[in-house]
């Protein structure tokens, strides 16, 4: 069975790069009738936090990438946190020691390693561990061990190349002599990423690993460890990186790229999926459901060259998906996402009409919430500059219209009467309509004013005009 995994470190907010990896692995698994596993790589105890762990799972569920196995629901190959799998790692470490692998103690501390790096930089040499502890005299090693000197264990790399077939890049060859001997067991007794990821993929029966091409070199380390453990490795697919507008790798510091930022802005999960899949397809395609995306997925379409994160393009997808929603679904999603306050069910029909009128102006759920609030609020908040637009002539015209409408019990249409009074006072229709729009919506732009006034009704419209007039007096 195809089994893929998403294995993030809970050291920061999940961003578009991480979501992309999760989506690709999920879609590949489901398109193949397989399983998708969430595994938390929390070996960095100082930086790992439960809040990020919870955020990762929340983001996956929001996207529609529901794990078949994870730290919350469990599964047959748990635990699903690396911090809870130490005994499993110890067992495999002993297996590695009994293999043909050469493991040696490294007594270099952080200060020594930093000094070594600085010297290599000065001399223009390759940056990396130079294997100095491997060449220590046996007597010296024994003495250091007897003294209880802190040490890690490194894996000595053989002088050979690692060759493998990547599902995206094709044939790959990596010369191990260009790499540094990796630490397997840290001085504090913890195991490193390179070892843990191999053990976990073996134990969890992972068949395919889809990840960023920044892990390409790591694959050489991992395949070597697989060979020493006499285990079959998964198939690898390394996707070209997604970078920010400046060409740097996407991180949580890339503006607008994190799950929480997108959620706050009212981005639809379907927009994220559609945007990420289209960066590989090379053409825009809208996927209204995860089922549609699964049917369309093909690993051969994943990016082979760097793609730039384009927030504008993402929001373009979002706007198109918003337009495809019915008013009922748009209202429901805005409510479920807490983008608007609860409303009286008696207002529902008029609220749906209101949303329909504004639909072309809505690009996100946050926009939808703002539009809903314009309809529901008892009193609008006006910008100071908007309150100072009104002239004395327009103020008098509005007051006369309000007085006329109220005295005639609504017998005269508000808009018709306003145009009539404006004409008699030689006020341009455009200027008075601008103020009227501000008064009833708090906005300078929007759907046709007659439509909005009809939905609001004469009573509510007059209340808003009065509030605007009072607020503008106080602003003078």
Catalytic residues: 252
> What does the DSSP assignment read for 249-277?
BP-TTSTT-BHHHHHHHT--HHHHHHHHH
Residue among 233, 162, 157, 154 at smallest CA distance from 198: 233
Give the C-alpha separation, 405 to 417, whole Å: 8
Nearest-angstrom CA–CA distance, 47 and 45: 6
Give kind and range of the element (H or E) at residue 465. Answer: helix 458-475
Handedness of CA 77, 155, 218, 83 (dihedral sign): positive
Instruction: Give the three-state DSSP class for 469.
Output: helix
Q: Which residues are bridge partners to 104 per DSSP?
A: 154
Cis peptide before 229 (omega within 30 of 0): no
Burial degree of 122 (CB within 10 A; 0-12, 13-18, 19+): exposed
Q: Are 237 and 168 in contact (CB under 8 A)?
A: yes
As a whole number of angstroms, the distance between CA 217 and CA 195 comes to: 14
- How many Cα neighbours within 13 Å face the side chain of 217? 9
Is 7 within 8 Å of 39 (Cβ atoms)? yes
SS3 of residue 165 by DSSP: strand
Write out the DSSP string of 414-444. Answer: HHHHHHHHHHHTT--HHHHHHHHHHHHHS-S
Query: Does residue 286 contact residue 274 with C-beta atoms inside 8 Å?
Result: yes
Contact indicator for 249, 23 with CB cutoff of 8 Å: no
């Amino acid at each position: 069975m195809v089994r893929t995994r998403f294995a993030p470190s809970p050291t920061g907010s999940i961003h578009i790069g991480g979501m992309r990896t999760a989506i690709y692995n999920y879609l590949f698994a489901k398109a193949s009738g397989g399983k998708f596993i969430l595994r938390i790589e929390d070996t960095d105890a100082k930086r790992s936090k439960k809040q990020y762990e919870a955020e990762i799972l929340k983001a996956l569920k929001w996207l529609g990438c529901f794990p078949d196995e994870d730290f919350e629901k469990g599964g047959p190959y748990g635990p699903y946190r690396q911090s809870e799998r130490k005994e499993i790692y110890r067992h495999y470490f002993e297996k590695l020691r009994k293999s043909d692998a050469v493991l040696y103690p490294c007594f270099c501390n952080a200060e020594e390693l930093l000094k070594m790096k600085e010297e290599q930089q000065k001399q223009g040499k390759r940056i990396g561990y130079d294997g100095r502890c491997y060449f220590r005299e046996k007597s010296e090693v024994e003495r250091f061990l007897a003294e209880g000197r802190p040490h890690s264990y490194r894996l000595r790399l053989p002088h050979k190349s690692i060759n493998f077939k990547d599902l995206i890049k094709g044939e790959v060859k990596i010369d191990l002599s260009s790499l540094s001997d990796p630490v397997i067991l840290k001085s504090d007794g913890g195991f490193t990423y390179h070892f843990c990821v191999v053990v976990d993929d073996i134990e969890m029966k992972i068949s395919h690993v889809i990840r960023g091409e920044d892990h390409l070199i790591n694959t050489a380390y991992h395949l070597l460890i697989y060979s020493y453990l006499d285990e079959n490795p998964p198939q690898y697919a390394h996707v070209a990186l997604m970078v920010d507008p400046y060409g740097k790798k996407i991180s949580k510091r890339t503006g607008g790229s994190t799950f929480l930022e997108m959620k706050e802005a009212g981005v639809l999960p379907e927009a994220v999926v559609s945007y990420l899949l289209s960066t590989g397809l090379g053409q825009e395609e809208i996927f209204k459901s995860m089922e549609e995306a699964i049917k369309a997925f093909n690993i051969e379409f994943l990016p082979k060259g760097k793609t730039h994160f384009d927030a504008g393009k993402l929001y373009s997808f979002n706007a198109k998906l918003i337009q495809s929603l019915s008013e009922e679904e748009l209202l429901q999603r805005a409510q479920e996402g807490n983008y608007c306050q609860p409303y009286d069910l008696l207002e529902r029909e008029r609220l749906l009409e209101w949303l329909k009128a504004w639909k072309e102006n809505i690009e996100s759920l946050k926009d939808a919430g703002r539009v809903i609030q314009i309809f529901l609020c008892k009193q609008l908040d006006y910008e100071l500059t908007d309150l100072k637009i009104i002239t004395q002539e327009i103020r008098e015209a509005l007051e006369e219209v309000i007085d006329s409408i109220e005295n005639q019990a609504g017998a005269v249409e508000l808009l018709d009467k306003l145009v009539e009074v404006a004409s008699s006072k030689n006020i341009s229709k455009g200027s008075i309509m601008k103020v009227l729009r501000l008064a009833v919506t708090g906005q300078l732009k929007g759907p046709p004013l007659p439509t909005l006034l009809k939905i609001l009704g004469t009573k509510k419209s007059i209340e808003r005009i009065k509030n605007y007039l009072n607020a503008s007096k106080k602003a003078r």
